[in-house]
Amino acid sequence: MSRKPTVLLISTMDTKHQEAEFVMSCFKEADVDVFTIDAGIMGESPIAVSVSRDEVAQLGGETLKTVQNMGHEGRALAAMIKGAIRKVEQLYREGRFDGVFGLGGSMGTTLGTSVMRTLPVGVPKVMVTTMGSRNTRGFVGTKDILMLHSVCDLAGLNRITNKVLHNGAMAMAGMVRYPAKALSNDKPLVLLSTLGTTEGCIRKIRGQLLVDGMEPVVFHTVGAGGQAMDEMIEQERPFAVVDLSLHEITDHFFGGDYDAGPDRGKAALSAGIPTVLVPGNADFLVTGPLEDAKKRFPGRSYHVHNAAITALSASEEEMAFLGEHLAQICSASKGAYRLLVPAKGFSAFDSDGGPLWNPKGRQAFADHLTKNISGSQVKILDYHINDPEFALAILENMNELTVG
């Protein structure tokens, strides 16, 4: 490396210059250079910065005065985020920094993480934030952002903020001084989806893929997991996809917490990637604590996975909808696919004697699937999803799709 490791520090310097200066001193202690971007709006930066708020506003298509006169903090912040993203993308293309560090409250966190989410996985990203103990999905999205809870407000330096900011800075310093090594890997890439309730199946598939000399990457379908997998399909063009856990689709349409958006499951089919689809975990929706689940979804069967997560039985209507929906997206596929249905159960919960045993729901799914799509691409197999024979069937079908 011809230059020192360099961190891009982005903040609103009118309100957070003290904290930013302290972080800069920490980086200096670690022998790491800093490149600063000021995306503040109303005040002035008392410290010198590498990129001024005026430049950020202009890159966002506005003058700073226009931004200041918008009269709405959300719209003003959006303009500055747009400009900051453009600047950071330029700096990244030029190889000017090795990691991104942000600090702030709700507005500063929205700013910092919006920039971070535009950068590839692997670029170090640290956000010291008052929002770190909340639901952080809206900030983190599908990227590898380290959210460090500031504990107290970032309103000046004190015995708490000094410790937290120092720790955050040193964590970043370690990442940029000892970056992950790029692996030279020409193994065929296979992307897979799962939850713990289909672990028996995925473990067997993953083990065999490794034996066969492939590189399996498994995504945990908690909403962001499915989104991340679909993004990676578009970016990496994998050898094959085994989409084993599709409950994020019904969660999206019927109000579950593991919502991956309206296009979940379409990426591989649209890209023409050989794909095996399985309605794994489609027997349940996911929500929060039990009392919340009972209020939002009364009259269901419930399984308390832990104090924060409750799984509840999907209705026959919801599973019928999923069958129709999968038939629809498969009919638009641009590549080879197979849709395998485990007739004896879609998850560990959906097993004989299990807490969410749902044979009527499975039948409704199969009926509406086969009513809307037919042929050799659809196979209903007399196994439970975690039976070793079903895992073998998935591997056999994937191999058939990828031959030649």
- Residue carrying structure tokens 């600063």: 36
Q: What is 6-177's CATH topology?
A: Rossmann fold (3.40.50)
Q: In what order do the strands lie in the sheet with 378-381?
A: 215-220, 189-194, 240-245, 275-280, 337-342, 378-381
pLDDT of residue 404: 57
Please report the pLDDT score of residue 386 as a whole number.
97
Convert the pLDDT of each residue in 75-89 to its tens digit.
999 999 999 999 999
| pLDDT tens, residue by residue, 128-178 | 999 999 889 999 999 999 999 999 999 899 999 999 999 999 999 999 999
Does the pLDDT value for residue 1 go beyond 70?
Answer: no
Question: Which CATH number is correct for 189-402, 1.20.950.20, 3.40.50.12030, 3.20.20.80, 3.40.630.10?
Answer: 3.40.50.12030
pLDDT value at residue 374: 79
Give the sign of the dihedral formed by CA 16, CA 169, CA 37, CA 31. positive
Rounded Cα distance, 157 and 324, in Å: 57
Cα(115)–Cα(63) distance, rounded to whole angstroms? Answer: 20
DSSP 271-338: HT--EEEEEETTTEEEESSHHHHHHHSTTS-EEEEETTEEEEEPPHHHHHHHHHHHHHHHHT-SS-EE
pLDDT digits (tens, 9 = 90+) for 190-224: 999 999 999 999 999 999 999 999 999 999 999 99
Domain 189-402 in the same topology as domain 6-177: yes
Domain boundaries defined on the chain: 6-177, 189-402
Q: What is the DSSP string of 213-269?
A: T-EEEEEE-SSHHHHHHHHHHHHH--SEEEEEE-HHHHHHHHT-S----TTTT-HHH
The owner of tokens 């020409």 is 186
Q: What is the pLDDT of residues 21-75, one digit of tens each?
A: 999 999 999 999 999 999 999 888 899 999 999 999 999 999 999 999 998 989 9
